[in-house]
């Protein structure tokens, strides 16, 4: 029996056999993969305000925040589609990204663009239905990420700041959707923590691609492992100092009736564990996947959340 002609099709830069596997999947499956649900854990940041505003057991606030989380999962999926469309040519030269459906040619660009427009419109409609302030934050997030997929990802340092501000907008969205005051500590700790992760991701890309980094993405030629290590060192110290000051500040004690000093060991271990994985294991390309796959890191985050909830809500 003759082989199907489609099995012999290849895409420039695609790994051998990648299309043979992908062609068996439906367009819907490839679209879901391109939405990257494995990355949606980043959107859990919208729950931060719910916890620190002491509304964790407020049913209405919980339902509203869950809805906000769903909206941001949809919006982040749209961002990934737009980014993959914009980067499809350079992604074909990347050892890992070349397997993405759009780069591999198994998800047509027109299909991906149409899906992005429909999902984006529905998500923004739902966002404004939850409140005009939340809708504006959601729209700002989508616009900022669209700019990142365009010119901003090609500007040194601005590219990292843009990614970090995206996390700040997630945290801010969680606050405005339940109508609570946005703490300045939330902004500071979020943007510093996000910058730490973004810089570590840049370092992983450069180390992984080596001399081919600038050809994959020209902006990577503006960085070096040494420069990124210096930046990471500054941001690491700043993140830990900011969290420690917040944890033991009189403002925190006055708000919760106690400080959060007992939670300090968790971010200390978490950040150092992440640095260990980046430097010794050469990981960090996908922070969300790293969090799920590395059990010590996942346990640290879960224990930190549990400790914060216990201290703030004092159930005993």
- Of 222, 93, 212, 101, give the one whose Cα is nearest residue 158: 222
pLDDT score, position 316? 59
pLDDT in 10s for each residue of the chain, 316 residues: 443 333 333 333 333 334 444 444 588 888 888 888 888 888 999 999 999 999 999 999 999 999 999 999 999 999 989 888 887 877 777 777 788 888 887 888 888 889 999 999 999 999 999 999 999 999 999 999 989 888 888 899 999 999 899 999 999 999 999 999 888 888 899 999 999 998 988 888 888 776 666 666 677 788 888 999 999 999 999 999 999 999 999 999 998 989 999 999 999 999 999 999 888 877 766 777 788 888 999 999 999 999 999 999 986 5
| Count of CA atoms in the C-beta half-sphere (13 A) of 293 | 12
- Distance between CA 144 and CA 59 in Å, rounded? 32
Whole-structure pTM value: 0.84
pLDDT score, position 172? 94
CA distances from 242 to 56, 179, 248 (A): 24, 25, 10
* Three-state secondary-structure class, residue 311: helix
């Amino acid at each position: 029996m003759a082989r199907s002609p489609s099995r012999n099709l290849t895409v420039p830069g695609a790994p051998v056999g990648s299309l043979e596997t992908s062609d068996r999947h439906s367009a819907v499956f490839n679209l879901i993969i391109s939405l990257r649900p494995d990355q949606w854990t980043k959107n859990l940041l919208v729950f931060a305000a719910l916890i620190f505003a002491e509304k964790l057991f407020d049913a209405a606030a919980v339902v509203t925040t869950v809805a906000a989380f769903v909206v941001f999962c949809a919006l982040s999926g749209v961002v990934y589609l737009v980014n993959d469309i914009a980067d499809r040519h350079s992604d074909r030269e990347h050892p890992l990204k070349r397997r993405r459906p759009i780069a591999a040619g198994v998800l047509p660009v027109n299909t991906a663009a149409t899906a992005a427009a429909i999902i984006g419109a529905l998500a923004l409609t739902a966002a404004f239905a939850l409140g005009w302030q939340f809708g504006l934050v959601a729209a700002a997030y989508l616009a900022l990420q669209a700019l990142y997929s365009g010119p901003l990802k090609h500007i040194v340092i601005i590219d990292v700041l843009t990614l970090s501000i995206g996390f700040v907008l997630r945290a801010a969205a969680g606050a405005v959707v339940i109508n609570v005051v946005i703490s300045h500590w939330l902004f500071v700790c979020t943007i510093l923590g996000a910058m730490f992760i973004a810089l570590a991701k840049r370092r992983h890309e450069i180390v992984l691609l080596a001399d081919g980094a600038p050809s994959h993405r020209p902006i990577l030629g503006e960085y070096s492992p040494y420069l990124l290590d210096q930046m990471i060192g500054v941001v690491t110290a700043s993140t830990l100092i900011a969290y420690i000051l917040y944890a033991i500040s009189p403002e925190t004690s006055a708000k919760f009736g106690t400080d959060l000093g007992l939670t300090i060991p968790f971010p200390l271990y978490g950040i150092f564990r992440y640095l260990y994985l980046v430097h010794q294991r050469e990981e960090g390309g996908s922070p969300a996947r790293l969090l799920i796959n590395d059990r010590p890191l996942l346990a640290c985050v879960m224990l930190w959340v549990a400790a914060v909830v216990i201290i703030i809500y004092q159930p005993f």
